[in-house]
Chains A and B, each alone.
Chain A
Amino acid sequence: MKPYIYIFICAILAACSHGKPPQMSPSTEKPDIFPDYADVTIPSRIAPMNFNIINDNAEHIYVKVTGEKGGELETSGRYADFDEKKWHDLTTQNIGADLSFDVSVKDRDGKWSRYAPFVIHVSDIPLDDYGVVYRKIAPGYQTFSKTGIYQRDISSFEEIPVLEETAVEGKCLNCHYSNRGRNDQFSIHVRGKNGGTILNNGKNLVYLNTKAPETAGNATYGYWHPDGRYIAFSVNKIVQNFYLDKEHNIEPWDVVSDIIVLDTETNRIITSPVVATPRCETTPAFSPDGKKIYFCLADSVTMPGGYDRLKYSLCSIDFDVKSETFGSRIDTLVCAGDLGKSASLPRPSYDGKYLMYNITDYGTSPIHHSDADLWIMDLSTGESRNIAEVNSDCSDAYHNWSTGGGWFLFNSKRLDGMYGNLYFSCIGPDGKATKPFLLPQKNPRLYYDEALHSFNAPDFITEKIDLDMPEVRSMVKSGKTLDVSVKK
């Protein structure tokens, strides 16, 4: 190669290189970063916590991460973009310790500023799940949007479609419910022409029509029994009304809602007059031992006029697997009348310690309420409290627990009040939740700015889901569903 080519390449490299900042003392000010990762607690397996500097004048950033138990990691560029392998080496080395982030920023005038370091704590509570699954959907409106259900490896930035609307054209894909995050036991509702419920019961994939003549509607909100044979569903007929002002936008409510249990081996539905009343019973969840179903219950009010008087209590009812029967008594755990609020979406931790749920001023759809907060009940004492450590001024909802316990995820609209994004936190030994962190992305500023979808109904998954797309497509295309029957 001729010398001038070397000179040219060197000149290009020199022009692109910003180098390291000069030696200088840090200021007392912490860097303004997006997402706000300062002082959050992370599991060691989490993907690199890349971040951007919120400063239009910033041209280049240099970050040095130092582990309390040893190890270092450096990155520089337009944003902090850590090498995945080196990141995991560092977090693994520092389980139970802090990572200190020393950030220097070069502005457009070439001037470097070094900020006071911020800290991320690597938790010693493991998060062994493969990743998360969620539905991407345009937020809060009556649109049959081009949705898809996706899975994301928690330790990397890899997102893989489980099922996209493009694969089953013209259908609306609803939430994915799995048995404790298993990839071989789950259900997905498909709405529209030829709609039904795709059900993988661990043995085979079936397409069910979950509406029996005796039940009020299709199966909607579901939760698997720990033995993997039964699924508790609410059957809902949902109506959506708009608000006059734009603050709330939309209020979904149930015309009818009852609780059923589906036996996935026989495709029979188990009902009980105790949970199929003119009142509204919804969002069931089995207790970790499978002996109870938590659910929400409201007295009927005249709708839609009485929308702000529709308040759900948090209740439970016994369920006996052997006899396939519901108990005869409903226990009220959180009384809407006492609280003056409405409870929704009960989710027990799989270790049986906690029950997390939503509290809103009224109604049953917390993702549409900016006042929606996460609450937690200590199941050993029955005491509940607002998890103020994680809640925001916007909707915080759609929570669930990691299969190993300790960690939980939830959907929050705190970034812009409109789009629900995925946050993680864990309950520490003191019973307090850690500061939540936003799902890491390769370039978080660009990703979250450009996304026009909410992360709807998120949940942890223990392994990658491998859905047989052609089989699903042919099932949906044919519209041939298996009917369910009601156990007499």
Chain B
Amino acid sequence: MLKPKDIIISGICLAGCVILAAFYATAYPSHLLWQEQNQIFLNTPHWVATYFDKPAWLGCLAGDWLTQYYHNPVAGAVILTLAIAFCTVCFAIGVRRILPGISSYILTVLFAILLIACSMDAATTLPFYFCVAGGLALGLLQHRVSFGKCRRLDLTPVFVVAAYWAFGFGALISAFLITAFTIKRILRKYMSDRHWFSALCAVILAAGTPAFLSGYYALPYSKALFYPGIAKPALPNYEYEERLAIADAFHDKDYDLTRQLALDAESPNEISAFYYYLSSALQDSLPDNLLKYKIKSLGTLTTIGETSPLPVINMMNDLYFELGDMTYAERAAMMRNVFSPRNRNVRMICRLAEINLVSGDTLAALKYLRILDRTHAYSAWSKKHTPGQMPPDVEADISRRRTLSNNKDNIRLGDNCRNILLELLESNHKNLIALDYLLCTDLLLKDMDTFKMDYDTYCIQKGSPRYKKLYQEALMIYLAGTDVPESEWDRYIIPGPTVDAFNRYSNRRGDPAFKDTYWYYFDKQ
């Protein structure tokens, strides 16, 4: 029978777990999805065997295996909550054997808060918790063995080395626990020489094993000691969650939701602006929405290199892929893969498969699809994208992207996006996404001569003028600033309310009543 006190404590713990899981599922789902997308787990013996190449194989294997279920936000929330709960229970058992009564409860609560705070950082992965739990569990087991039935047999070295092998820095936690148990026994004055040896041995081995094995694992000592890495506590980062949610909505091809999330963002930034505009472009409304977002960031003035932040590499990968530049999309995807744990990122492997399907490199695409086929969450996606098994919508999407791709064989001077856009339009002037990005970039730079030149080259000369209100307004500025005959106006401008508005604006330049027009942007922003 449980005592009333235990029932109350259990009830509080259970309620805490439910609240925590609910928090992760509702307020932090994109952080969890980010973890899942930032790795890959293959259900093959070969893949599992690679975990033995580094320390902490069990912590990393268990953590990575469960992280793949983060694909479902509820499952992810439950898994993370249980991992934290398991660590806390192990800690509570240990601390209760060392400290009396209330102080053990306080320490346990603080420990739980610390673990929860660590989970707020997007860089904290599930293997961290498994290594903590593994280290605690082995420390407790050592205590049980050393002071239990097998007390004549000192297995401390085995426990500590095993803790390092299986849980990396967890060995330090084991050693800490073993030392704490020993200190307590010293204080209680029933300490034997052998327990001194246990504690000393635990500390020396926890620090020495990584040094001894750092060469074997090809890790510097500092990294080997704390492998796979110590998490840092942080406060909830809702701004980052917001950014991730916008990118996730975009990847789900829910462009309305992407734009809505970007518009509703409490902290609009370059990333929310980027996805707002890219979603607009895919809905053929980039010129209509260019002036509607506070931050003007199309991504066309951004380049990537080895020091670029990961979200920026993701952004550029999405931009190049949607524009149709498969070379640069592949480059960004490769780069993003390289900067992921174990050089693999499931979102980018999907992207690499798509890129190679679009470019017709079927053998390469099949390689990526075979990798995805061995995952839990992407096996169905892989089958849907396998040539010969594609449903009509996937096939149509691949075909559409092929028409947008570059078909010129030439070398390019750099990753200047203007050049990329021009090259794409040379291949296919009907690539409206590239056209809008080109013209809108000109307009954001207020480079009216270049805008006019681009508009002439890809709209007028190709016989497909693009009568968007934004372009009409910009053309009026250009035409009004030059001494062109009226016939030129007729060539570019459709008579109507925009012309009337322009005439009114000309007399009231800078009037905020016109803040939705390009004229106002040109004059005032």
Interface centre among A241, A248, A452 (most CB of B within 10 A): A452
Q: Is the CB of A244 within 8 A of B223?
A: no
Residues of A within 8 A of B410 (CB): 243-244
A304 at the interface (CB under 8 A from B): yes
Residues 161-201 of chain A, each 1 if its beta carbon lies under 8 Å from chain B, else 0: 10110110100000000000000000000000000000000
- Bound-state CA distance A247–B411 (Å) is 12
B335 at the interface (CB under 8 A from A): yes
- Bound-state CA distance A220–B219 (Å) is 26
- Bound-state CA distance A147–B305 (Å) is 17
With A138-B334, A244-B423, A247-B409 already in contact, the answer to whether A416 and B364 are too (CB < 8 A) is: yes
A143 at the interface (CB under 8 A from B): yes
Residues 328-372 of chain B, each 1 if its beta carbon lies under 8 Å from chain A, else 0: 101100110110000110000000000110010101101100110
Q: Is the CB of B218 within 8 A of A146?
A: no
With A142-B331, A146-B343, A247-B409 already in contact, the answer to whether A415 and B326 are too (CB < 8 A) is: no
Nearest-Cβ distance from residue A394 to partner chain B, whole angstroms: 9
Residue in B337, B370, B415, B423 whose beta carbon sits within 8 Å of that of A449 in the complex: B370
With A145-B343, A416-B366 already in contact, the answer to whether A473 and B330 are too (CB < 8 A) is: no
Residues of B within 8 A of A469 (CB): 214-215, 218
Closest Cβ neighbor of B349 among chain A residues: A452
With A245-B409, A446-B44 already in contact, the answer to whether A164 and B218 are too (CB < 8 A) is: yes
A450 at the interface (CB under 8 A from B): yes
Residues 210-230 of chain B, each 1 if its beta carbon lies under 8 Å from chain A, else 0: 000011001110010000000
Q: 8 Å CB contacts to B: which residues of A247-300?
A: 247-249, 251
Q: Is the CB of B220 within 8 A of A167?
A: yes
Closest Cβ neighbor of B423 among chain A residues: A244
Q: Is the CB of B338 within 8 A of A246?
A: no
B189 at the interface (CB under 8 A from A): no
With A144-B306, A242-B415, A246-B330 already in contact, the answer to whether A447 and B343 are too (CB < 8 A) is: no
- Bound-state CA distance A169–B410 (Å) is 36
Closest Cβ neighbor of B330 among chain A residues: A246
Q: Is the CB of B218 within 8 A of A242?
A: no
Residues of A within 8 A of B46 (CB): 442-443, 446-447, 450
Q: 8 Å CB contacts to B: which residues of A101-151?
A: 138-146, 148
Residue in B42, B335, B408 whose beta carbon sits within 8 Å of that of A141 in the complex: B335
With A166-B219, A246-B330 already in contact, the answer to whether A143 and B335 are too (CB < 8 A) is: yes
Residues of B within 8 A of A241 (CB): 411-414
Residues of A within 8 A of B413 (CB): 241, 304
A429 at the interface (CB under 8 A from B): no
Residues 414-431 of chain B, each 1 if its beta carbon lies under 8 Å from chain A, else 0: 110000000100010000
- Bound-state CA distance A473–B221 (Å) is 10
Residue in A141, A248, A419 whose beta carbon sits within 8 Å of that of B409 in the complex: A248
Nearest-Cβ distance from residue A321 to partner chain B, whole angstroms: 37
- Bound-state CA distance A305–B412 (Å) is 9
Nearest-Cβ distance from residue A364 to partner chain B, whole angstroms: 14
With A161-B218, A244-B408, A247-B409 already in contact, the answer to whether A145 and B367 are too (CB < 8 A) is: no
Residue in B219, B344, B409 whose beta carbon sits within 8 Å of that of A243 in the complex: B409
Nearest-Cβ distance from residue A111 to partner chain B, whole angstroms: 24
- Bound-state CA distance A472–B218 (Å) is 11
Does more than half of chain A's interface fall in helix, strand or loop, or is it mixed?
loop
Residues 164-191 of chain B, each 1 if its beta carbon lies under 8 Å from chain A, else 0: 0000000000000000000000000000
Q: Is the CB of B219 within 8 A of A417?
A: no
Residue in A166, A169, A452 whose beta carbon sits within 8 Å of that of B344 in the complex: A452
Q: Is the CB of A243 within 8 A of B327?
A: yes
Residues of B within 8 A of A450 (CB): 42, 44, 46-47, 371, 374
Q: Is the CB of A242 within 8 A of B412?
A: yes
Question: In the complex, how many residues of chain B place their beta carbon closer than 8 angstroms to a beta carbon of chain A?
Answer: 48
Q: Is the CB of A244 within 8 A of B409?
A: yes
Q: Is the CB of A146 within 8 A of B338?
A: yes
B406 at the interface (CB under 8 A from A): yes
- Bound-state CA distance A25–B495 (Å) is 85
- Bound-state CA distance A50–B74 (Å) is 43
- Bound-state CA distance A169–B415 (Å) is 28
Residues of B within 8 A of A449 (CB): 367, 370-371, 374
B407 at the interface (CB under 8 A from A): yes
A22 at the interface (CB under 8 A from B): no
Closest Cβ neighbor of A147 among chain B residues: B338
Residues of B within 8 A of A251 (CB): 411
Residues of B within 8 A of A246 (CB): 326-327, 330, 355, 359, 361, 405-406
Nearest-Cβ distance from residue A477 to partner chain B, whole angstroms: 8
Closest Cβ neighbor of A150 among chain B residues: B218
Interface centre among A304, A417, A418, A470 (most CB of B within 10 A): A418
Closest Cβ neighbor of B49 among chain A residues: A442
- Bound-state CA distance A144–B409 (Å) is 26
Q: Is the CB of B218 within 8 A of A163?
A: yes
Residue in B219, B338, B363, B427 whose beta carbon sits within 8 Å of that of A145 in the complex: B338
Q: Is the CB of A166 within 8 A of B218?
A: yes
With A144-B306, A145-B343, A450-B371 already in contact, the answer to whether A418 and B327 are too (CB < 8 A) is: no
Q: Is the CB of B223 within 8 A of A166?
A: yes
Closest Cβ neighbor of B50 among chain A residues: A450
Nearest-Cβ distance from residue A245 to partner chain B, whole angstroms: 5
Q: 8 Å CB contacts to A: which residues of B269-306?
A: 305-306
Residues of B within 8 A of A304 (CB): 411, 413
Nearest-Cβ distance from residue B488 to partner chain A, whole angstroms: 34
Residues of A within 8 A of B214 (CB): 469-470
Residues of A within 8 A of B406 (CB): 244-246
Nearest-Cβ distance from residue B490 to partner chain A, whole angstroms: 37
Residues of A within 8 A of B334 (CB): 138-141, 143
Residues of B within 8 A of A245 (CB): 327, 359, 405-409
Q: 8 Å CB contacts to B: which residues of A360-390?
A: none
Residues of B within 8 A of A319 (CB): none
Residues of A within 8 A of B223 (CB): 166, 169
With A241-B411, A242-B331, A251-B411 already in contact, the answer to whether A167 and B363 are too (CB < 8 A) is: no
- Bound-state CA distance A460–B389 (Å) is 43
Residues of B within 8 A of A146 (CB): 338, 343
With A243-B327, A243-B410, A244-B327 already in contact, the answer to whether A138 and B218 are too (CB < 8 A) is: no
- Bound-state CA distance A142–B335 (Å) is 8
Residues of B within 8 A of A452 (CB): 337, 343-344
Residues 439-480 of chain A, each 1 if its beta carbon lies under 8 Å from chain B, else 0: 000110011011011000000000000000110010000000
Residues of A within 8 A of B367 (CB): 415-416, 418-419, 449
- Bound-state CA distance A142–B331 (Å) is 8
- Bound-state CA distance A415–B328 (Å) is 23
Q: 8 Å CB contacts to B: which residues of A413-438?
A: 415-419
Q: Is the CB of A242 within 8 A of B327?
A: yes
Nearest-Cβ distance from residue B217 to partner chain A, whole angstroms: 8
Residues 292-327 of chain B, each 1 if its beta carbon lies under 8 Å from chain A, else 0: 000000000000011000000000000000000011
Residues of B within 8 A of A446 (CB): 44-47
Residues of B within 8 A of A307 (CB): 411
Residues of A within 8 A of B405 (CB): 245-246
- Bound-state CA distance A262–B226 (Å) is 41
- Bound-state CA distance A249–B371 (Å) is 23
- Bound-state CA distance A62–B262 (Å) is 59
Q: Pull 22 A–B residue pairs with CB atoms less than 8 Å apart, ordered by A.
A: A140-B334, A141-B335, A143-B331, A145-B343, A148-B218, A163-B218, A166-B218, A241-B412, A241-B413, A242-B411, A243-B411, A244-B327, A244-B410, A245-B407, A247-B359, A247-B409, A251-B411, A418-B363, A442-B46, A443-B46, A449-B370, A470-B215
For the complex of A and B, 10 pairs with smallest distance between CB atoms:
A164-B218, A446-B46, A246-B359, A418-B364, A416-B363, A145-B338, A144-B306, A244-B406, A246-B326, A416-B367
Besides A144-B338, A243-B327, 5 new A-B residue pairs in contact (Cβ under 8 A), listed by A number: A241-B413, A242-B328, A243-B411, A247-B409, A473-B220
Q: Which residues of A contact B (CB under 8 A)?
A: 138-146, 148, 161, 163-164, 166-167, 169, 241-249, 251, 304-305, 307, 415-419, 442-443, 446-447, 449-450, 452-453, 469-470, 473
